[in-house]
Structure 1
Amino acid sequence: MLLTPALLVLAVLLLWPLVRVALFSLQDYGLKEIVSKESNWIGLDNFVEIFTSEQLWQVVLPNTVVFAVLSVACTVVFGTVVAVLLASLGRVWRTVVSSAIMAAWAMPAVTGTYVWVWIFDADRGVFNHVAQTLGLQDAPVNWFTERWSFYAIVLLNVVHHGFPFVAVTVLAGLLSVPNELLEAAEIDGAGPWRRFFSVIVPQLRQIFAVVIILSTIWDFKVFAQVYLMPGGSGTNREVLNLGVWSYTESFGQNRYGFGAAIAVLLTLLLLAITVVYVRTILKEDEL
């Protein structure tokens, strides 16, 4: 009974919008339907169009999946390295450095994206200026036109924004590992790498599960970091991911039903990944 008010609020704010999106995905819903308030049910036609689209298989899905895998891996690895370095510092410097890196996490995604756009700008960007000064390139390069360089910049942006959360979370786990275990492993002749992978990592399995699941959800549905890059709003069709594709089809083409179907596909993909990973972790705990 105590949880009922909170559950009702969650149902209104989360469950009902999800239901509405699912209903829109089964309709040919555009400006005409918005004005007339009429429903135009077409069943699974939107999903058939999605799965038979070359845009999905050749561009959107590879961009989404490959980018998510790379960004999750880079974020978790870099965040873990930073956490280990923080754990080696004294309490005062650990507090100072932790507060400094959390500023990157607190920075809005929009602000951080515009900073990276400025850094790699073809005309006034710092990166092009330094590369030309060092003689690495003869003329300015527009790094946002090519698919791989575009997503390399997005990767830097996402890792820079996401690693502080991983670092602070893993740091909390590192500080909770009993010193007796590390001392016993050291006495048995285990070096730093062996102690980390054989003692610390098993102790932090649940923490790594949490940060990997959250990072996967965030990076699969990344939107602002792609949409706000030059060409990322739909003018360059080679850099679309599922989130931006859904938005551009909905609000750019006024195909709200088709855009809703893409959003449903993204949601189901995230649920499947989360369920599989959680089941894997639970099975490991049972063993």
Structure 2
Amino acid sequence: MAADPRKAGPAAPRARAARRAAWARASRPWLLLAPALAVLAVLLFWPLVRVLLLSFQDYGLRQINTGESNYTGLDNYREILGDSFLWTTVLPNTVGFAATCVTLTVVVGTLVALLLQRLGRAWRAICSTAIMMAWAMPAVTGTYVWIWVFDPLNGVVSGGLDGLGLIEPRETNWFTDRWSFYAIATLNVVHHGFPFVAITVYAALLTIPRELPEAATVDGANAWQRFWHLTVPTIRPVFMVVTILSIIWDFKVFAQIYLMPGGAGANPDVLNLGVWSYIESFSRNQYGLGSAIAVLLTLLLLAITVVYVRALSKESDEGDAP
């Protein structure tokens, strides 16, 4: 039986009006964000596109002077990926250094946050001020401080060990060996990064009701069990945020490596992807090759971040499942 057109007629305009209203509600946030997104597109998106385009070119001083483009396809990527220096030195330096820094930063920051939770108001204020000073210190200044601390001739560490008769300062240079170089760089990065984790985790700890750890204590849970089975699941999103941010920051560390003796290219054994990209671009004027290295660093960072976020999301979903 055919529908009555007199009944179907008014429903169509109402449906169209409902769709327009729904579209307006959905688009309103994007319209409000449009100015900020436009600024980000100019400041961030276009430079990324430019770096990607340069990575497919043989781009040097001649191309800068003439403005010409010399596309060579994937030649830069083939050269980089076929270079044993990437696989034996640069990539292990980048990944190993970042993984160590992220782990130590989160662990030290969490321990400091737990300490702040137990301190009284006065000592908490003093300790918070002290660690915030470490966070406020510029990376360049902090790097030169650590260089002075480990200076082979006049540094605090060399002088102290020399006084104990353990080393000969004139024969010991902490910056020439790959392992000691990155040990100093790790101390620098962790010292500069743990205050952010400490303050963030401490703020998250304040959101946990006091009744929960008290009840766990009554049930016989020790400090480690309360932390692992109660604190960590409760503030897991905070740990995810600080870990992701630490991954992003530590994978693209530049100043802390470049400014240390030998880190600007004099000692190739200590180069990471960020410094290698800079040296290829601005020291050797191979801007296409340097851009390709920067693209590989970005892809590596995105891959690690995505894998970590998916793993945590999957773990969170399994924990919420009945």
> TM (normalized to structure 2)?
0.88
SS class of match (2:73): coil
SS class of match (1:176): coil
Instruction: Verify: 1:88 aligned to 2:118, yes or no.
Output: yes
Match of 1:172 among 203, 208, 211: 203
Query: What is the alpha-carbon distance in structure 2 between the residues aligned to residue 272 and residue 235 of structure 1?
Result: 31
Could you tell me which amino acid in structure 1 is paired with residue 309 of structure 2? Answer: V
Say if 2:152 and 2:169, in contact at 8 Å, map to a contact too: no
Match of 1:196 among 215, 227, 233: 227
> Aligned-pair RMSD on alpha carbons?
0.9
SS class of match (2:173): coil
Instruction: Verify: 1:148 aligned to 2:179, yes or no.
Output: yes
Q: Deviations over 1:241-283 (max 9, x none)?
A: 0000000000010000000000000001111111111112222
Query: What is the alpha-carbon distance in structure 2 between the residues aligned to residue 119 and residue 105 of structure 1?
Result: 18
* Structure 1 segments of 4+ aligned residues over 3 angstroms from their partners: none
Query: What is the alpha-carbon distance in structure 2 between the residues aligned to residue 191 and residue 199 of structure 1?
Result: 11
Q: What are the within-5 Å matches in structure 2 for residues 1-287 of structure 1?
A: 1-140=31-170, 141-287=172-318
Could you tell me which amino acid in structure 2 is paired with residue 227 of structure 1? Answer: Y
Query: What is the alpha-carbon distance in structure 2 between the residues aligned to residue 46 and residue 33 of structure 1?
Result: 16
Q: How many corresponding residue pairs?
A: 287
1:206 CA drift (Å)? 0.7
SS class of match (2:32): coil
Q: Deviations over 1:121-180 (max 9, x none)?
A: 112111110101112113441100010010000000001000100110111111111111
1:194 CA drift (Å)? 0.8
Q: Deviations over 1:75-95 (max 9, x none)?
A: 111111111101101223212
Identity %: 65
Q: Select between 9-18 and 138-147 the one with higher mean Cα deviation.
A: 138-147
Aligned equivalent of 2:3: none
Q: Select between 138-147 and 114-123 the one with higher mean Cα deviation.
A: 138-147
Could you tell me which amino acid in structure 1 is paired with residue 281 of structure 2? Answer: S
Cα pair distance change 1:41/1:212, threshold 3 Å: same
Aligned equivalent of 2:22: none
SS class of match (2:129): helix
1:100 CA drift (Å)? 1.4
Could you tell me which amino acid in structure 2 is paired with residue 231 of structure 1? Answer: G
Could you tell me which amino acid in structure 1 is paired with residue 254 of structure 2? Answer: F
Could you tell me which amino acid in structure 2 is paired with residue 76 of structure 1? Answer: V
Query: What is the alpha-carbon distance in structure 1 between the residues aligned to residue 266 and residue 235 of structure 2?
Result: 43
1:208 CA drift (Å)? 0.8
Q: Select between 105-114 and 91-100 the one with higher mean Cα deviation.
A: 91-100
Aligned equivalent of 2:10: none
Could you tell me which amino acid in structure 2 is paired with residue 54 of structure 1? Answer: S
1:26 CA drift (Å)? 0.4
Query: What is the alpha-carbon distance in structure 2 between the residues aligned to residue 135 and residue 124 of structure 1?
Result: 15
Could you tell me which amino acid in structure 2 is paired with residue 24 of structure 1? Answer: L
Aligned equivalent of 2:17: none
Could you tell me which amino acid in structure 2 is paired with residue 214 of structure 1? Answer: L
* Structure 1, gaps ≥5 residues long: none
Query: What is the alpha-carbon distance in structure 2 between the residues aligned to residue 184 and residue 171 of structure 1?
Result: 21
Could you tell me which amino acid in structure 2 is paired with residue 125 of structure 1? Answer: G
1:96 CA drift (Å)? 2.3
Q: Deviations over 1:36-55 (max 9, x none)?
A: 10000001110011100011
Say if 2:159 and 2:169, in contact at 8 Å, map to a contact too: no
Could you tell me which amino acid in structure 2 is paired with residue 273 of structure 1? Answer: I
SS class of match (2:229): helix
